[in-house]
Amino acid sequence: MNEEQQILEQYYESMGISRPVFRFCSQIEERLKERFAQIDAITECNQMKVLGAMRKNRLSEACFAPTTGYGYNDIGRETLEKIYADVFKTEDALVRPQITCGTHALALALMSQLRPGDELLSPVGKPYDTLEEVIGIRPSNGSLAEYGISYRQVDLLPDGGFDWDGIEAALNDKTRMVTIQRSKGYASRPTLSVERIGELITFIKERKPDVLCMVDNCYGEFVELTEPSEVGADLVVGSLIKNPGGGLAPIGGYLCGTKECIERAAYRLTSPGLGKEVGATLGVTSTLTQGLFLAPTVVKGALKGAIFAANIYETLGYTVIPDSRESRHDIIQEVEFHDPQLMTAFCEGIQAAAPVDSFVRPEPWDMPGYDSQVIMAAGAFVSGSSIELSADGPMKEPFAVYFQGGLTWEHAKYGIMMSLQKIYETGKVRLPETED
Ligand SMILES: *Cc1c(COP(=O)(O)O)cnc(C)c1O
């Protein structure tokens, strides 16, 4: 052990990590050098992409001045939207603090493009929970269903593949839009790679060229070298308190896409006749822009954390999705414990390692809309931000935690070591012998 490692071990010990846990985790980390180097290379490419867009669009100090009222001629807002369009390689973008969250951005994308009598198709199974009410799969005030917009769904095959025949059969004269969720979210299907999304869009457009393809890009931004907008998506949509906000954005959502799609979305977000011209930014543009600048690096830390955890818990015999070697297309990691005590211990560790609210103990509670208790761990600078290290899951079989985020690799690493420490302290888990 070299000097830095000895000092590190002392640090971790003073921060609650026992020697066996530290040594086991260090061995796992040692194995990941090559994998981490690949991630570093993707990060470097994405950093150049973002920096290049900022230089090309002549981002300047004047862009950071706050605007109020109507927000006409907000040069910072306009520049940031051009930067987003360049990063995602689209004709235009809508990036606004008035978009309150990811669900709002997705609802805006759907409601702005669809008209009464149109049909929406999901060829990748059930969409994210909150979209069920937007679409009207669960009856809800103001849903697409209330406006006479119908919905069809084709599930993925049991092996995670696309049901090509089912998709072909589902396309019809009314199909106006297709929604494709990249991340698995809280389902146990695989996350879709940008390449697979491209194959799906090509298949659909060959059969119905005028259909609009939207991708829910939540948790996927900057994980790969390309984004779904580069493989045919008309719209890509996400939340700024996830990947592209880089942990700094305090609010917001984005839509990047064709000029026509963005125009329709802007007229829906503000008002017919006003569109993109209004929307004061109240001084938030500098953090949205700086957040985008940091986003590739932040995603790098979160990805390394997810891979580190997959390797630790897989080595200890648990099922992890994605597994320790699989390629990554989003930042979410699932670990199945089949034991409520271990699941709770894991979340306690994530919470104890947080920079904010580290002294709080997470407890399972009856969250509205869920059929079992749910446990959540988060100690974030931005409330609800899930690019910051967080973990949660329903208290039922397979007692799986879903976790994601970490603004730095070092923090993600400490959080995961702390989760293992709490699990180790239950006495239910033995660690493999490690040498001194
Ligand atoms: C987080 C998420 C959403 C919704 O975003 P909120 O900001 O929580 O409303 C939608 N789809 C996916 C895949 C997500 O991960």
3-state helix/strand/coil string of the chain: CCHHHHHHHHHHHHCCCCHHHHHHHHHHHHHCHHHHHHHHHHHHHHHHHHHHHHHHCCCCHHHHCCCCCCCCCCHHHHHHHHHHHHHCCCCEEEEECCCCCHHHHHHHHHHHHCCCCCEEEECCCCCCHHHHHHHCCCCCCCCCHHHCCEEEECCCCCCCCCCHHHHHHHCCCCEEEEEEECCCCCCCCCCCCHHHHHHHHHHHHHHCCCCEEEEECCCCCCCCCCCHHHHCCCEEEEECCCHHHCCCCCCCEEEEECHHHHHHHHHHHCCCCCHHHCCCCCCCHHHHHHHHHHHHHHHHHHHHHHHHHHHHHHHCCCEEECCCCCCCCCCCEEEECCCHHHHHHHHHHHHHCCCCCCCCCCCCECCCCCCCCEEEEECCCCCCCCCCCEEEEECCCCCEEEEECCCCHHHHHHHHHHHHHHHHHCCCCCCCCCCC
* CB of 296 shorter than 6 A to ligand 1: no
Q: How far is CA 154 from the centre of its chain?
A: 23
Helix 285-315 with 75-87: angle, nearest 10 deg: 40
Give 348 Cα–ligand 1 centroid separation in angstroms.
24
* CB of 404 shorter than 6 A to ligand 1: no
Q: Rounded to whole angstroms, what are the CA distances from 19 to 231, 304, 417, 429? A: 48, 22, 11, 15
Give 3 Cα–ligand 1 centroid separation in angstroms.
43
Q: What is the distance in angstroms between the CA of the first residue and the CA of the last residue of the chain?
A: 8
What is the distance between the alpha carbons of residues 244 and 99, in angstroms, rounded to a whole number? 14
Phi and psi (nearest 5°) for 240? Answer: -80, -10
Phi and psi (nearest 5°) for 25? Answer: -65, -35
Q: Is the peptide bond before 398 cis (omega within 30 degrees of 0)?
A: yes
Instruction: Tell me what pLDDT residue 186 has.
Output: 75
**Ligand 1, atom 6, residue with closest C-alpha:** 102
* CB of 133 shorter than 6 A to ligand 1: no
**Ligand 1, atom 12, residue with closest C-alpha:** 218
Give 131 Cα–ligand 1 centroid separation in angstroms.
9
* CB of 434 shorter than 6 A to ligand 1: no
Instruction: Tell me what pLDDT residue 399 has.
Output: 95
Report pTM. 0.96
Comparing 330-334, 342-346, 429-433, the range with the smallest average pLDDT is: 429-433
Instruction: Taking residues 114-118, report their average pLDDT.
Output: 98
**Is 70 exceeded by the pLDDT of residue 331?**
yes
Q: Encoding tokens for residue 17? A: 């990590």
**Is 80 exceeded by the pLDDT of residue 23?**
yes
Taking only the tens place, the pLDDT of each residue in 264-307 is 999 999 999 999 999 999 999 999 999 999 999 999 999 999 99
Q: Whose CA is closest to 390, among 419, 410, 368, 427?
A: 419
Instruction: Tell me what pLDDT residue 369 has.
Output: 66
- Atom of ligand 1 minimally distant from the CA of 182: 13
Instruction: Taking residues 185-194, report their average pLDDT.
Output: 86
Taking only the tens place, the pLDDT of each residue in 200-234 is 999 999 999 999 999 999 999 999 999 999 999 99
From 106, 108, 218, 243, the mutation candidate for ligand 1 (largest count of ligand atoms within 8 A of CB) is 218
pLDDT band at 422, cuts 50/70/90?
very high
Instruction: Tell me what pLDDT residue 5 has.
Output: 86
Instruction: Tell me what pLDDT residue 1 has.
Output: 73
What is the distance between the alpha carbons of residues 208 and 42, in angstroms, rounded to a whole number? 34
- Atom of ligand 1 minimally distant from the CA of 184: 13
**Is 60 exceeded by the pLDDT of residue 436?**
no
Give 12 Cα–ligand 1 centroid separation in angstroms.
34
What is the distance between the alpha carbons of residues 386 and 128, in angstroms, rounded to a whole number? 15
* CB of 218 shorter than 6 A to ligand 1: yes
Q: Whose CA is closest to 342, among 295, 399, 265, 383?
A: 399
Instruction: Tell me what pLDDT residue 404 has.
Output: 95
Q: Is the peptide bond before 322 cis (omega within 30 degrees of 0)?
A: yes
Instruction: Tell me what pLDDT residue 269 has.
Output: 98
Name, in order, each residue with C-beta under 8 angstroms of 136's C-beta and a sequence gap of 6 or more: 143, 144, 145, 146, 149, 151
Which residue ranges form the domains of the chain, and what is each CATH number?
3-45+293-424 (3.90.1150.60), 66-283 (3.40.640.10)
Give 221 Cα–ligand 1 centroid separation in angstroms.
13
* CB of 220 shorter than 6 A to ligand 1: no
Amino acid at 384: G
Query: Do residues 192 and 212 make contact, with C-beta atoms less than 8 angstroms apart?
Result: no
pLDDT band at 57, cuts 50/70/90?
very high
Mean pLDDT estimate for the chain: 96
Instruction: Tell me what pLDDT residue 119 has.
Output: 98
Instruction: Taking residues 426-431, report their average pLDDT.
Output: 94
* CB of 254 shorter than 6 A to ligand 1: no
**Placement of tokens 């930067």 in the chain:** 83
Beta strand 400-404 with 390-394 is: antiparallel
Taking only the tens place, the pLDDT of each residue in 369-393 is 677 899 999 999 999 999 999 999 9
Q: Encoding tokens for residue 70? A: 């109507």
- Atom of ligand 1 minimally distant from the CA of 104: 9
Instruction: Taking residues 169-189, report their average pLDDT.
Output: 92
Instruction: Tell me what pLDDT residue 434 has.
Output: 65
Query: Do residues 277 and 110 make contact, with C-beta atoms less than 8 angstroms apart?
Result: no
Give 103 Cα–ligand 1 centroid separation in angstroms.
6
